[in-house]
Amino acid sequence: MKCQHCDRQAVFHITELETGEVRELHLCEDHARSYLNQSEAASETPAGKPSGSGTPLGVGQTAEELSVLDQKTCGMCGISFFEFRNQGRLGCSHDYVAFEKELEPLIANIHGATEHVGRRPRQAAAIVMPAEGTEGLTRLIGLRLEMKEAIAREDYEKAKENRDLIREIEETWLSPSAASPTPPEATP
Amino acid sequence: MKIDTLTDAIGEWLRGTGPESDIVMSSRVRLARNIAHFPFVSRASEQERFDTEALLRERIAAAPIGGSLEYIDVGHLEEIDRQFLVERQLISREHAEAQGARGVAIDGREQVSLMINEEDHLRIQCMHSGLDLAGAFEQIRAVDEEIEKVVPYAFHPRWGYLTACPTNVGTGIRVSVMLHLPALVITRQIDKVFRSLHKISLAVRGLYGEGSQAMGDFYQISNQTTLGKTEEELIEQVGDVVPVLIDYERRAREFLVRETQENVHDQVSRAYGILRTAQTISAEETMQLLSRVRMGVLLGLIGDVTIPDINVLLVRTQPAHLQKIRGVELDTNDRNIERARYLRHHFEGGTEPAN
C-alpha cells in the first residue's frame, strides 16, 4: 500500500480515535514520524485542537475520501476495500472488477502499467473462456456465501436453491469431462 | 516417506552445473495462479481451502505431468519437515508457516514444485542449475499449459492473471537468479551494484533471508513488476543484467588475485581451516566461511574441494537438514556442535568424486 502523502510504501497504519470519530492513516516512515511529532505537539498545547483537520498534511480530506472508498464491498466474497487496504490481500478474483476504479491507481503505481500484454490461458475443451475472462465463474463464490448465510438463518429453501444452482454451474462448466456450447451467463 | 529420500538426494540448484555456474547458482521462474470460482486463500473458509486443495491436487495428479510428481501434504507435516522443504527451496517460508489445507507437488529432480494454497491457490516454480532462465521458462510454461486445460485460472482481459496481491497481477511471473558475489562484497562494490539494480526496478534479496542482509554473499535478483510487459520481456529484464554482474564479479575476483593474492589466499585458507577444525559453529558463520572457500576453489587457491561439494554443504548444514541427517531434534547449541562435527567428518573423509 502507498503512503497517503507520497509514493513510498506505507509502513505505519494508524487508527485515530477522537471525539467519537475513527480515522485511518497509512503513512511511510517519514510522514508517520512528522505526523506523530505533530500530534504530540498538539496534545501538549492545552488549547490545542485534536490533530485532525487543518494539519498541513491535509490528512482529514484524504481520510474522508478514503472512508467513502473503504465502505465499498465485493458482491461475491464480501470483502470491503477497507479490509483489503489493511491486509494488502484481495478476497477473490471478482475484486478486480468490483474495485476496478480504486485499484487502478494502485496498480499503475506498482507496475507503471494498467494493461496485461502477456500470455492468456488457452481455451480448454471443457472450460469455455468467455470474452470477459473467467469473471462469470466468480458467481459461484457469491452463491456459496449466500448459501452459508441462508443455512445460518435456517432458510433451507434458499440454501437448497443455491446448492442446486452451484451444482448445475459446476457440472456444466467445471467437470473435466464436460464440454458445453453455452457460456456460463446463460445458466439461470 | 519422500522427505527422507530427499535428505539423501541433491536438489537441482545444488548441482553446481550449467552455464556460468561459478557465479550463477540457479535460475528460477515462478507463476502465481488462482482458481476463478474460489475466494483467494486469505479470504477462504477452512472448507474452501480444503476444496481448493483437493481440486488442484486431483487435477494436477490426473494431468500428464502428474505421473512424475510426488505430492506432500504440507498441512500435516511436522515443523522440522516443513523447515526442511524451505531450506531446500521447494516451498516458501510463508507456505511453511501458514495454516489449513495446503501441499506441494515436487518432481524427482527437484526442478518443478507446485505449491497449493500459498498466498495464491497455485504457485508453480521451476528451478535450473546455473544460468538457464530460458530453459526454466520453457519447462514452467509446459506445466502451466497442462494445468490450464483442466483448471479455470482466474483471468481478466485487462488485468491478466488475477492474484491475491496486486503486486503479482498480470503475468504473475517472478524471474530470479541466485548469484554468488563474494569478490564484489570484499571489494565493497556490492552496494553500488544494488543501487543501480533498484534504478532499473529489479529487486535484490539474500539467500534464505527476508531482508536485504544476504548470508554468505548469495544474492537473488528478480523482477519487481509483473504487468504491462510480456513474460519474455520480463525474463529479458533480469537476464540482460546477469552477464553484466558476472563480468563485474569476475573482474573483482581478478583484481583480488592480482593485487592482494596473499591476503585472499590467507582469508580462504583460514576459512577452510575453521570449517575443518571448529568444535561448534553457527549456520550463519558456516555459510560465510563456505562462501569464502567456494571462491577459493574457483580461484584455484584450494585444490581438494569441488563446487558441488560446497553447494551440498551449504544446504546440509542448515538447521532442519542437519537434524534430519542426524535423525534427532537438537536445540541451537547442540546443532552448532553437530554442525561442526558434520563438517569435520566431511572434510576428513575426503571429498566425493568431482563431477
Q: Which residue has the cell 520480463?
A: B234
Contacts of A87 in chain B (CB under 8 A): 42
Residues B223 and B292 in one domain: no
The total domain count for chain B is 2
- At residue B289, φ and ψ (nearest 5 deg) are -70, -40
Q: Considering only alpha carbons, which residue of chain A is nearest residue B226?
A: A111
Contacts of B43 in chain A (CB under 8 A): 77, 79, 89-92
Query: Of chain A residues 55-94, which have a CB less than 8 A from chain B?
Result: 76-77, 79, 87-93
A12 with A26: CB under 8 angstroms? Answer: yes
Return all residues near A15 (Cβ < 8 A) that are at least 6 apart. A22, A23, A24, A25
- Ordered alpha helix ranges (H), chain B: 2-8, 46-62, 79-87, 93-97, 133-148, 182-186, 190-199, 231-277, 283-298, 307-316, 319-326, 332-348
Average pLDDT, chain B: 91
Q: Please, is B298 exposed, middle or buried when counting C-beta atoms within 10 Å of its C-beta (0-12, 13-18, 19+)?
A: buried
B28 with B136: CB under 8 angstroms? Answer: yes
B27 with A129: CB under 8 angstroms? Answer: no
Residues B34 and B11 in one domain: yes
Answer yes or no: do A133 and B155 touch at CB < 8 A. Answer: yes
Q: Give the end of a domain, one of B229, B252, B275.
A: B252
Amino acid at A67: S
Using CB atoms, which residue from A103, A117, A141 is nearest to B228? A117
User: Which pLDDT belongs to residue A128?
Assistant: 53
Q: Which three cell numbers stand for residue A180?
A: 458445453
Whether B280 is covered by a domain: the verdict is yes
Contacts of B229 in chain A (CB under 8 A): 113, 117-118
User: Which pLDDT belongs to residue B228?
Assistant: 96
Residues B143 and B160 in one domain: yes
Residue scoring higher pLDDT (A184 or B130): B130
Containing domain of residue B24, as a range? 4-252
Using left for φ > 0, alpha for ψ between -120 and 50, and beta otherwise, residue B89 falls in left
Name which of B6, B126, B154, B119 is nearest B70 in CA terms: B6
For residue A12, name the pLDDT band (cuts at 50, 70, 90): low
Residues B206 and B290 in one domain: no
Answer yes or no: do B36 and A117 touch at CB < 8 A. Answer: no
User: Which pLDDT belongs to residue B13?
Assistant: 73
**pLDDT-flagged residues of chain B (< 70):** 1-2, 208-214, 350-355
Q: Give the end of a domain, one of B199, B218, B252.
A: B252
Using CB atoms, which residue from B155, B161, B170 is nearest to A111? B170
Name which of B243, B242, B241, B231 is nearest B30 in CA terms: B231
Sheet containing B103-107: give its strands across.
B69-72, B103-107, B112-116, B122-129, B24-33, B173-180, B218-223, B202-206
CA atoms within 13 A on the CB side of B48: 21
Whether B95 is covered by a domain: the verdict is yes
Q: Give the end of a domain, one of B205, B233, B252.
A: B252
Q: Is this complex scored with an ipTM above 0.95? A: no
Percentage of residues of chain A with pLDDT beyond 90: 36
* β-pair type (B202-206, B24-33): unpaired
Answer yes or no: do B153 and A114 touch at CB < 8 A. Answer: no
Q: A174 and chain B: CB distance < 8 Å anywhere?
A: yes
Distance from CA of B152 to the nearest CA of A (A): 6
Q: Considering only alpha carbons, which residue of chain B is nearest residue A169?
A: B37
Q: B198 and chain A: CB distance < 8 Å anywhere?
A: no
Question: What are the C-alpha distances in Å from A45 to residues A16, A19, A41, A49, A51?
Answer: 18, 17, 7, 8, 11
Percentage of residues of chain B with pLDDT beyond 70: 96
Residues B87 and B62 in one domain: yes
Contacts of B62 in chain A (CB under 8 A): 176
pLDDT at A130 over 70: no
Whether B355 is covered by a domain: the verdict is no
> Of the ranges A149-163, A174-188, B162-176, which is most confident?
B162-176
Residues B192 and B309 in one domain: no
Q: What is the pLDDT of residues B270-323, one digit of tens each?
A: 999 999 999 999 998 999 999 999 999 999 999 889 888 898 899 999 999 999
Q: B36 and chain A: CB distance < 8 Å anywhere?
A: yes
Q: Considering only alpha carbons, which residue of chain B is nearest residue A105?
A: B166
Residues B334 and B275 in one domain: yes
User: Which pLDDT belongs to residue B210?
Assistant: 45
Q: B173 and chain A: CB distance < 8 Å anywhere?
A: yes
3-state helix, strand, coil in chain B (%, to 5): 50, 15, 30
Residues B200 and B288 in one domain: no
Q: B120 and chain A: CB distance < 8 Å anywhere?
A: no
Q: B84 and chain A: CB distance < 8 Å anywhere?
A: no
Q: What is the pLDDT of residues A34-67, one digit of tens each?
A: 766 555 444 433 443 333 333 333 334 467 677 7
Name which of B174, B177, B3 is nearest B88 in CA terms: B3
User: Which pLDDT belongs to residue B343?
Assistant: 96
Distance from CA of B105 to the nearest CA of A (A): 20
Residues B270 and B239 in one domain: no
Distance from CA of A67 to the nearest CA of B (A): 21
User: Which pLDDT belongs to residue A33?
Assistant: 66
Residues B296 and B156 in one domain: no
Q: B66 and chain A: CB distance < 8 Å anywhere?
A: no
Contacts of B166 in chain A (CB under 8 A): 90, 103, 106-107, 110
Vertex A67, ends A61 and A68: CA angle to 5°? 100
Residues B230 and B269 in one domain: no
Residue B113 belongs to what H/E stretch? strand B112-116
Domain ranges of chain A: 1-38, 63-111, 122-176
